[in-house]
Structure 1
Amino acid sequence: MSDVITGLAETVEGDHVVYDRIGQGPSVLFVQPAGQTRATDPITPATLRVLADAGRTAVVHDRVGRGDSPAAPPITLARELAAIDALLRESGPAIVVGWSSGGAIALAAAARNEAVRGVVLFELPFDGTGEAAGFLDGIRQRVRAGDAAAIVEYYMKDMPPQWLEQAKAGPGWASLLDMAPSFEADAEALAWLESAPLTQLLAPIRVPVLALTADDAQPFMHDAAHAIASATGGAAERIAGRHHGWDPDAMAARILRLTE
């Protein structure tokens, strides 16, 4: 079994991003959602190991302003995209896997960086209602006010209420508060995704796009998967998973199709 190698990538924005890399072969880079770090996410590392065992190089990083990649706000989409650029320089061309709001960041990266050789999305929270710009403004107001709890509460306002209750009661609440300013980049990516018709916005993406959802995903996420697939000439599929997370073996199998 391959060993995990931890590295540091410096971005053109001046940020220092810590990442874990495992395996050898064609590369796969994971972009985590709001609220996750390498230390708090058990699903992505398990998926990395399956991919490594299948002869792939798999990479996950602590996004800007999270975990081992501390950074001062404002943390913008440009800084997140610069981090992906830096990681792709380290790993070489890669399939980019975006989880939840990380999927919007992955699409933005694919639209501008030819080193992205494919995109896999999991439960992208896109509904096309045109409300994302207002949501971004609300996040920015709370980031500027320095109220971490208010940022998290506002970010989760449209999620099932029990998710926020569980977050507040769980051991990871302090970690969420620490990374809360970084949610601005997630909100900005979602606003970008509503800034123009999808067929126009995603036209620069010329690589395979696979949009995945689990059976228990919220209905609008299934709709989003089909909308993204239609706009990019990609595919929308169901995958084993639950509670906004995937089964590592099932996800790895889907990714391996794109790297064969």
Structure 2
Amino acid sequence: MEAVQSADGTPLAVDRSGSGPALVIVVGAFCDRASFASLAAVLASDFTVHTYDRRGRGDSGDAAAGVVEKAVEREVEDLAAVIAAAGGSAVVVGHSSGAALALQGAARGLPITRLVAYEPPYSADPADADPTFAPRIAELLAADRPGDAAALFLGGGSELPPEVLAQMQSGPGWPHMLQLAPTLLFDLAVVGDEGVPERLGAIAVPTRWCSRVARGGPGSRPPQPWWPRGSRARAIGYCPGRPTRSTTRPSPPRCAPSRGAEAAHDRQVWGRGRTWQSRNVPDVRWAGVPPRIRAVVLAAAAVFAYGTVVHVVDIVTRGIDAYPAAPVWLATYFLSLTVFDAAAAILLLLRRRSGLLLGCAVLVTGALANALATYLLGIGGTPERVGQAVITVLAVALLVVAPRIWPWLEPGPGRR
């Protein structure tokens, strides 16, 4: 266990495991960092996983008096502190109210590179929410009745059937739920009125929103996330659950954390390492990437592959001195493109940001080098000038689309 200090001085208990890019798990109601130990173990083969106790839970510091009124701000600061300790940026996987917290953090500009929001408890119609729900929970906790508060919370504001409540109370997890019941006030504060906050319209990172199907037949999809109008957020995929008629004993969704499917989510999103196999979640490197982004990246890779072929043909037909009219340094540069073009094509096909950077560098320097050779040194004629113009157009086009492609590419193994 490591201790991380939040902005207001609250100590946060963090478990770190695995190696690779940083990934932070944000837990939901009735959960602490131990609740997701099995998921962390699955992800640790590909990520450096950081699971922390949200304030007031486990080994983290207790919430100070009156802090519930600023729960969102304090908890976002907590998440920011954990991300900073993880290396400055991280993939974030949030569950339930933890997903709502992660979405709030992304909207506030925390350095989140990818976001998996599993079951954020938002409603398509916040008018259906019970405005007395949170005050009733607070009243029960103030009366030192954590069991009743927990039961009311689990029933969504309604009484649980006696047999369901009895079954839960006799289970091994009930004492732990009673211990964490006071933190329900934080969960409720983070979720708010159950409507999607307008602030989420500021989210700009690739986001996978995983939600249980609330209605419809088998195989139906949940509605698109209710992003605020004008949002720049990109919901790049879903993992719908089985439809259920009961609100007290819902069927487990196919992407339940206990089944390790968040591992499938994030590896499906950014295609890294061994993927947890499921007939519901295919192992596809480019899964979740919009078709237009795939098309642009594949087109760029094709351009560099073509450039590689051209340089290889030049070397094969003309020998190592394939550019005799050019100065030695310029001829060496043209020869080096045989390697750099191929590297850019391969890295782009692997969804690496380094491929995009290398590709931009190759096209820009290629346009300049060909302009120098054609116009200043007088090497070649009309075909070479046309070729230089084409390379210039390609360079400008790649530079223009690069900011749109960048978020969908990966920094590379072991980097944060």
TM-score scaled by length of structure 1 = 0.80
Sort the Cα spacing of 1:166 and 1:143 in 2 relative to 1 into closer, same or farther, 3 A: same
In terms of mean alpha carbon deviation, does 71-80 or 237-246 score higher? 237-246
Provide, for residues 160-199 of structure 1, a one-character-per-residue CA deviation record: whole Å limited to 9, x for no partner. Answer: 75664433111222221111111111111111652xx65x
2:62 corresponds to 1:64: no
1:19 positional shift:
1.2
Work out whether residues 132 and 190 of structure 1, in 8 Å CA contact, stay in contact via their aligned partners in 2.
Answer: no
The equivalent of 1:11 in structure 2 is: 6
1:211 positional shift:
0.9
Sort the Cα spacing of 1:225 and 1:112 in 2 relative to 1 into closer, same or farther, 3 A: farther
Q: Which residues of structure 1 form unaligned runs of 5+?
A: 1-5
Sort the Cα spacing of 1:182 and 1:224 in 2 relative to 1 into closer, same or farther, 3 A: farther
Distance 1:77 1:146 in 2: 24
Q: Which structure is richer in relative contact order (CA contacts within 8 A, separation 6 or more)?
A: 1
SS at match of 2:192: helix
Sort the Cα spacing of 1:218 and 1:246 in 2 relative to 1 into closer, same or farther, 3 A: farther
Give the one of 200, 207, 210 matched to 1:209.
207
1:9 positional shift:
0.8
The equivalent of 1:106 in structure 2 is: 102
Q: Which residues of structure 2 form unaligned runs of 5+?
A: 243-250, 271-409, 411-416
The equivalent of 2:185 in structure 1 is: 184
The equivalent of 2:42 in structure 1 is: 50
The equivalent of 1:227 in structure 2 is: 225
Q: Which structure has greater helix proportion? A: 2
Q: From the CA coordinates, give the structure whose radius of gyration is larger.
A: 2
Distance 1:149 1:178 in 2: 9
Mapping for residues 153-168 of structure 1, pairs under 5 Å: 153-158=151-156, 161=161, 164-168=165-169
2:113 corresponds to 1:117: yes
The equivalent of 2:33 in structure 1 is: 38
Sort the Cα spacing of 1:184 and 1:48 in 2 relative to 1 into closer, same or farther, 3 A: same
SS at match of 2:33: coil
1:47 positional shift:
2.4
1:61 positional shift:
0.9
The equivalent of 2:91 in structure 1 is: 95
SS at match of 1:202: helix
Sort the Cα spacing of 1:107 and 1:152 in 2 relative to 1 into closer, same or farther, 3 A: same
Distance 1:151 1:252 in 2: 32
Identity of aligned residues (%): 26
SS at match of 1:59: strand
In terms of mean alpha carbon deviation, does 242-251 or 104-113 score higher? 242-251
Letter in 1 for 2:121: P
Distance 2:39 2:91 in 1: 14
1:22 positional shift:
1.0
Distance 2:226 2:236 in 1: 8
Give the one of 126, 129, 133 matched to 1:129.
126
Distance 1:164 1:33 in 2: 20
Alpha-carbon RMSD across the aligned residues, in angstroms, is: 3.0
Distance 2:53 2:239 in 1: 27
Work out whether residues 50 and 249 of structure 1, in 8 Å CA contact, stay in contact via their aligned partners in 2.
Answer: yes
Letter in 2 for 1:51: L
1:70 positional shift:
4.3
Sort the Cα spacing of 1:103 and 1:219 in 2 relative to 1 into closer, same or farther, 3 A: farther
Work out whether residues 111 and 202 of structure 1, in 8 Å CA contact, stay in contact via their aligned partners in 2.
Answer: yes
Letter in 2 for 1:120: V
Sort the Cα spacing of 1:246 and 1:115 in 2 relative to 1 into closer, same or farther, 3 A: same
Q: Which structure has greater strand proportion? A: 1
Distance 2:62 2:185 in 1: 13
Provide, for residues 94-143 of structure 1, a one-character-per-residue CA deviation record: whole Å limited to 9, x for no partner. Answer: 12111122111111111113312222111222223332654223323333
1:255 positional shift:
0.7
Letter in 2 for 1:181: P
In terms of mean alpha carbon deviation, does 106-115 or 249-258 score higher? 249-258
1:229 positional shift:
6.6
SS at match of 2:121: coil
SS at match of 1:251: helix
Provide, for residues 187-236 of structure 1, a one-character-per-residue CA deviation record: whole Å limited to 9, x for no partner. Answer: 11111652xx65x331111101101136xx5449x987622478633134
